[in-house]
Amino acid sequence: MQETKNPTKNYTHKKHKHKHPNYVHPQSETAAENTTPTSTTTTTTTASTAPNISFKRNTDVKGLKFGGQFIVKSFTVRRCRPQELSLLLNLSPPQALPSTIAFLPSNFTILAHHAWHTLTLGLGTKKSKVIIFVFDTVAAKSNADLTWPHEIPLGDVNKRLIRGMNSWDFARFKFRKGCITFYVFGVRKSGDRGGFQCGDDLRCILHSVVALKDFLDHTAMLALPNQRSLDHSSINNNRSSYNHRSVAAH
């Protein structure tokens, strides 16, 4: 005799989505913005505090991820100037963000990613990484300016810029935007429970990265002010200048 199932039971199980510890729901964020502060003191405290994020010790926070493609660790990133970061994040109007140090992939890294992707018949990643550090104070950022290198392999970022920052706490954010993955780190002294003084800079960067559209290629990266542009006009200019030099030589 076959056993009959009870039709009243519901066997549907919904899988709960994993939420990042630094996740902020858009509706709650909008509600917080629409809330009218009760006093001037409340407004000042809110302005100097970062979004609702969680900080971890430098030894506990997650760093850059490479998967199984260890060759990517040898690709380099370089320090970028404030106007370059403002251009990349599409900030309007442009802002200096004095508490921020950012690293962008060099031309070599961008071209190496494409070459690696081709040599592996599409199995190798061609996504580049942008790393942005936002410090609690401008003074802390100035101290890091004196010791941090201007160019560093991606594999050394975790070891030197995160694990090497003893007595500092980090809050990590990761955003995939097409061929560019953004890593944003909030940095403050360990044991500091007084908020985040440069929270406006951190909030501005997070909102700007979220609002960015996916990058289909690295044209925006290669066309930054201190890198050589690879657009059609620059190729024609280089070709005409080469022809001019050839005629002059003859």
In a domain, 218, yes or no: yes
Which residues constitute the domain of residue 113? 95-163+197-226
The pLDDT value recorded for residue 96 is: 86
Asked if 136 and 189 touch (Cβ cutoff 8 Å), the reply is: yes
Residue 162 has what pLDDT?
95
**Averaged pLDDT in 10-residue chunks for the chain of 250 residues:** 51 51 47 38 38 82 86 92 90 90 91 84 84 95 94 94 92 94 94 82 94 84 57 40 39
Whether this prediction's pTM lies above 0.85 is answered by no
Asked if residue 108 is part of any domain, the answer here is yes
Q: Whose CA is closest to 215, among 131, 117, 127?
A: 127
Residue 147 lies in a domain: yes
| Count of structural domains within the chain | 1
Residue 239 lies in a domain: no
Burial, 99: exposed, middle or buried (Cβ in 10 Å; 0-12, 13-18, 19+)? buried
pLDDT at 102: 96
Per the domain annotation, does 213 fall within a domain? yes
| The two three-digit tokens of residue 224, written as one number | 């930054």
Residue keyed to tokens 């970061």: 85
Task: Answer whether residue 170 is part of any domain.
Answer: no
Residue 4, in any domain of the structure: no
Pairing of strands 180-189, 128-135: parallel
Residue 206 lies in a domain: yes
Residues 6+ apart with CB under 8 A from 80: 88, 102, 103, 104, 224
